[in-house]
């Protein structure tokens, strides 16, 4: 298993645990977050880029698969039009971690956490985010507004992630 932290920062030599801001996590236990390789595409966008991501899971019905996937691709990342140019001009860095100190936090999202300081075992630069998604077999879609799709995905039986929706265009 490979675990990564995705950042726009080019030089992070050491990762120190941070207090989580999510209300469902204990604020007294600082953590380092990592993402598994299967869900890495969900984070191959600029940090604040709102996005709806989804992929087929074991519970995904053939009906939902035919509604949400337009090809044999089983992983989709959707961004808003206004982020296209920003994404085209963003460089990301993947920091790879030794997975031995990490534990699974969310299987669907592919989130892993560690409670101890981590030194990356590798760093990879990605200059073309679109190519990185396509190389991983991900379909990229660009829409004017994410909210209608988000609501449809929420009512499906897909595995999904809604990231940075506070930066999305207002609902129409």
Classify residue 159: in a domain, yes or no: yes
- Residue 9 maps to a domain: yes
DSSP letter for each residue of 21-87? --TTS-TTS-BEEEEEGGGGGGG-S-TT--EEEEE--TT--HHHHHHH-SSS--EEEEEEGGGHHHH
Looking at residues 30-53, what average pLDDT do you find? 97
**Structural domain includes residue 134:** yes
Using pLDDT thresholds of 50, 70 and 90, give the confidence band for residue 24: confident
CA angle 117, 93, 149 (to 5 degrees): 105
Determine, yes or no, domain membership for 172: no
pLDDT digits (tens, 9 = 90+) for 66-97: 999 987 888 999 999 999 999 999 999 999 99
CB-based contact 143:149 (threshold 8 Å): yes
Write down the H helix ranges in 69-168. 84-88, 129-135, 147-154
Continuous segment of H or E residues that includes residue 143: strand 139-143
Residue 63 lies in a domain: yes
**Who contacts 137 (Cβ-Cβ below 8 Å, separation ≥6)?**
73, 74, 75
pLDDT tens sequence across 124-167: 999 999 999 999 999 999 999 999 999 999 999 999 999 999 99
User: How many structural domains compose the chain?
Assistant: 1
Domain range enclosing 110: 3-167
Stated pTM of the model: 0.93
Nearest to 32 by CA among 96, 121, 117: 117
Residue 23 burial by Cβ neighbours in a 10 Å radius (0-12, 13-18, 19+): exposed
């Amino acid at each position: 298993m490979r675990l990564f932290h995705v950042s726009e920062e080019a030089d992070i030599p050491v990762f120190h645990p941070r207090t989580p801001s999510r209300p469902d996590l204990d604020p007294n236990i600082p953590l380092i977050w990592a993402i598994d390789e299967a869900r890495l595409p969900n984070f191959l966008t600029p940090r604040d880029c709102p996005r709806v991501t989804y992929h087929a899971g074991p519970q995904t019905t053939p009906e939902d698969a035919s509604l949400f996937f337009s090809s044999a691709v089983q992983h989709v990342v959707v961004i808003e039009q206004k982020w296209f140019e920003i994404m085209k001009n963003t460089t990301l860095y993947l920091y790879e971690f030794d997975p031995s100190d990490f534990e699974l936090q969310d299987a669907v999202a592919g989130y892993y956490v560690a409670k101890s300081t981590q030194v990356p075992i590798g760093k990879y630069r990605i200059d073309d985010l679109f190519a990185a998604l396509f190389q991983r077999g991900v379909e990229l879609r660009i829409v004017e507004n994410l909210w209608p799709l988000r609501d449809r995905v929420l009512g499906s039986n897909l595995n999904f992630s809604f990231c940075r929706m506070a930066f999305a265009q207002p609902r129409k």
